């Protein structure tokens, strides 16, 4: 289905000429069995979108189509018309420049406005009969705004804060739907949506509640979803863990220890031996160790955001030189 392609010389037709042409084409005949119908696609139109008024059940040997704005078929409501033989097109008083008439009689209206809403009538003529005029109506709905999520607090302490997420904007006639991690809300006593409205309440947030969260708004036309929002839940540290390949080392080898703890933001690490500070960092490496490096090694992990600090300890023993090929005499 394509728009009409008409030479420029065929566009200068007067209203009187069109009526005269139609009068020669019409003869009385009993009405056809299939009733002509018009369908608006889509049925619910948003402002700024396009709508197609699709004509169905066309009679055979159509000679002309005439479109009107409204149900009154007069000159002031006349939009556009097309005659097939000879192929001619005319734009009427109500033509806005956004209408396209297709060869099957359907009318496309681009970039619809509030003034376009209402009824449209098509009159179809052939050499045997004339329809009385078939009318279609479409309603224009305001374009839905893209929703967004606001929060009373995006930086949250684990097990200490209650957060309220709000889906904006607040508008009458919308239904609000929340999703977390791309799924519908799970059943949880800590997760509440009072009255199924636009506010989502999370009590005593944990590190598992970061999201992402999305809100979707619905109306009679359709739906639109917000951008995802992720919560920053501050937590930790718990008691860290020290990792070492051995508990016993031979002098002359390299002592390597590492420390790990789950924390947000990441923890700051420091090392001690027998209570004396050694260095900062997650890993400790001491080459060419001696028996004097035996002792109780401690790792401290501190979270500057939560203010929490936790420590753990591990005893390392360094013995005399090894005359074999092994780096350590005992594995952990």
Q: Specify whether the CB–CB gap between 63 and 131 falls below 8 A.
A: no
pLDDT at residue 115 is higher than 80: yes
Nearest C-alpha neighbor of 12 from the set 79, 84, 72, 89:
89
Is-contact 154 211, C-beta < 8 A? no
At 289-309, the pLDDT tens digits run 999 999 999 999 999 999 999
- Residue showing tokens 């619809």: 112
The fold for domain 8-141 equals Immunoglobulin-like (2.60.40)
Which tokens is 241 given?
Answer: 């863990």
**pTM, entire model:** 0.58
CA of 165: how far to CAs of 104, 157, 191, 204, in Å? Answer: 51, 16, 11, 14
Per-residue pLDDT, 281: 94
Q: Which top CATH class is 241-323?
A: mainly beta
148-234 and 241-323 share one fold: yes
Phi, then psi, of 110 in degrees rounded to 5: -95, 150
Q: What's the CATH code, domain 148-234?
A: 2.60.40.10
Helix %, strand %, coil % of the chain (to 5): 10, 45, 45
Q: Residue 276 and residue 254: Cα distance in Å, rounded? A: 20
Is the pLDDT reported for residue 15 higher than 50? Answer: no
197 vs 248 pLDDT, higher one: 248
Domain coordinates in residue numbering, the chain: 8-141, 148-234, 241-323
Query: Contact at 8 Å (CB) between 27 and 129?
Result: yes
| pLDDT tens, residue by residue, 173-206 | 788 888 888 888 776 666 676 666 788 888 888 9
């Amino acid at each position: 289905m394509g728009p009409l392609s008409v030479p420029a010389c065929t566009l200068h037709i007067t209203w009187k000429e069109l009526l005269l042409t139609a009068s020669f084409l019409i003869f009385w005949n009993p009405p056809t069995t299939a009733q002509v119908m018009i369908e608006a696609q889509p049925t619910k139109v948003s402002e700024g979108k396009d709508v197609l008024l699709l004509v169905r059940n066309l009679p055979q040997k159509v000679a002309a189509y005439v479109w009107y704005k409204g149900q009154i078929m007069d000159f002031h409501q006349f939009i556009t018309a097309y005659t097939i033989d000879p192929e001619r097109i005319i734009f009427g008083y109500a033509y806005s420049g956004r209408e396209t008439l297709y060869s099957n009689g359907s009318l496309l209206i681009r970039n619809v406005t509030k003034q376009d809403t209402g009824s449209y009538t098509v009159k179809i003529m052939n050499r045997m009969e004339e329809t009385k005029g078939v009318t279609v109506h479409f309603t224009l709905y305001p374009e839905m705004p893209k929703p967004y999520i606001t929060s009373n607090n995006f930086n949250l302490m684990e097990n200490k804060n209650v957060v309220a997420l709000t889906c904006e904007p607040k508008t009458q006639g919308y239904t609000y739907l929340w999703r977390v991690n791309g799924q519908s809300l799970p059943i949880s006593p800590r997760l509440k949506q009072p009255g199924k409205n636009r506010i989502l309440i999370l009590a005593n947030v944990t590190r598992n509640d970061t999201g992402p969260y999305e809100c979707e708004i619905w109306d009679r036309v359709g739906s639109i979803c917000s951008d995802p929002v992720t919560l920053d839940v501050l937590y930790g540290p718990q008691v860290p863990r020290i990792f070492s390949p051995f508990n016993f080392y031979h002098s002359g080898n390299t002592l390597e220890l590492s420390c790990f703890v789950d924390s947000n933001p990441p923890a700051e690490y420091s090392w001690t031996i027998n209570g004396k500070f050694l260095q900062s960092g997650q890993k400790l490496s001491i080459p060419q160790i001696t028996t004097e490096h035996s002792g109780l090694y401690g790792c401290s992990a501190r979270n500057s955001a939560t203010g929490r600090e936790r420590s753990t300890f591990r005893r390392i023993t360094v013995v005399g030189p090894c005359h074999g090929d092994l780096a350590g005499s005992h594995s952990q």
